[in-house]
Amino acid sequence: MANIRATNKLNLLFNHNNCRVCHKILILGFTNISVIIMKIITPITILLLLSACNQQTISYKEIEHRTDASKDIAKEFGGQLKGKLQAAMKSGGPIEAISVCNEQAPLIAKELSKKTGWDIHRTSLKPRATKPDAWETRIMQSFEQRHNDGDKFKSLFNQDIVEVKGRPAFRYMQAIETKKICLVCHGENIAAPIAEKLAELYPDDSATGFKLGDIRGAFSIVQPLSD
C-alpha cells in the first residue's frame, strides 16, 4: 500500500460499490462529514479503512473544487438552453421550442463535454431522451424525497465518487426545477399539435404530467479521476 501520512488534511475515500463503510462515510457529503469524522473516527481508523479498501484517496479541497466546477457547468448548460428556448418560443412558438430541445440540447451537452473533458447530460425519472443509470436513479429518488420533505432546489444536488466503466470518477447531479416554460411540453395538459410533434420525435416519451415546481430531472456530470 502506498505511503499514507497522517496530516491535518483529511482525505475522502474512493467509494467502491463493494465497500459499504467507505460509501456510508462519503455519502454524508463533504459539507458535514469533516465534523463527524474528526469527532468519531481517528486517523488510525482512516488508515485501517484505506488499507482494507486498498484504494487511492481524494482530498476535501479537491471535492469542493470539483463540486463548484460542476455547479458552474450545470448553470452554463441551463442558461444556454433557457436562452435558446425563450428565443424559439418568441419566434416560432412551442413547436420550434421542441426542436430546440431535440436538436440544440444535445449539442450544448456535447460542446460542454468537449470543453471540460467530462460527460455532461440531462436525465430524469420520467425521461424524454436519456434514461438514467442505476446511480442516477437512486440519486434522483433521494431528490424527490428531500423535495417532498421541504428541501429547496438550491440544496438538491449530490456528489459522489464511484466506478464508471471500471474506473474511478467524480459524479455530480443537480435537480432541475419545472418552470412555467417547461409546462408547454412537459405539463399535464399538452395541446394536440404539440403532443403529435412529441410523439413523432420521442415515441417512448414519458416526460409529461409535470406540475409547476416539480423536479423535472437533473443535470448529470461525470468527471474522470486519474488512477
**Domain 63-224, CATH 3.30.450 — does that match?**
yes
Q: 215, 190, 222, 1: which is closest to 94 by C-alpha? A: 190
Residue showing cell 463535454: 113
Q: Which of 126, 123, 206, 215 is nearest to 171 (CA)?
A: 123
**d(C-alpha 105, C-alpha 88), whole Å:** 13
Find, among 123, 147, 146, 120, the residue nearest to 135 by Cα: 123
Q: What is the pLDDT of residue 135?
A: 97
How many percent of the chain have pLDDT more than 90?
70
- Residue 75 · residue 219 · CB < 8 Å: no
State the chain's mean pLDDT as an integer: 81
Please give the average per-residue pLDDT across 209-214, as a whole number: 97
In angstroms, how far apart are the furthest CA atoms of the chain?
A: 65
What are the sequence ranges of the domains in the chain? 11-55, 63-224
- pLDDT of res. 227: 57
pLDDT for the residue numbered 143: 98
Query: pLDDT tens across 23-41, in order?
Result: 434 444 444 444 344 444 4
What pLDDT does residue 58 have? 82
Tally of CB atoms within 10 A around 189 = 9
* pLDDT value for 1: 40
Look at residue 207 and tell me whether its pLDDT is greater than 50: yes
Please give the pLDDT value at position 21.
38
Alpha-carbon gap, residue 164 to 176, rounded angstroms: 23
* Per-residue pLDDT, 145: 98
Asked if pLDDT for residue 210 goes beyond 80, the answer is: yes
3-class secondary-structure state, position 97: helix
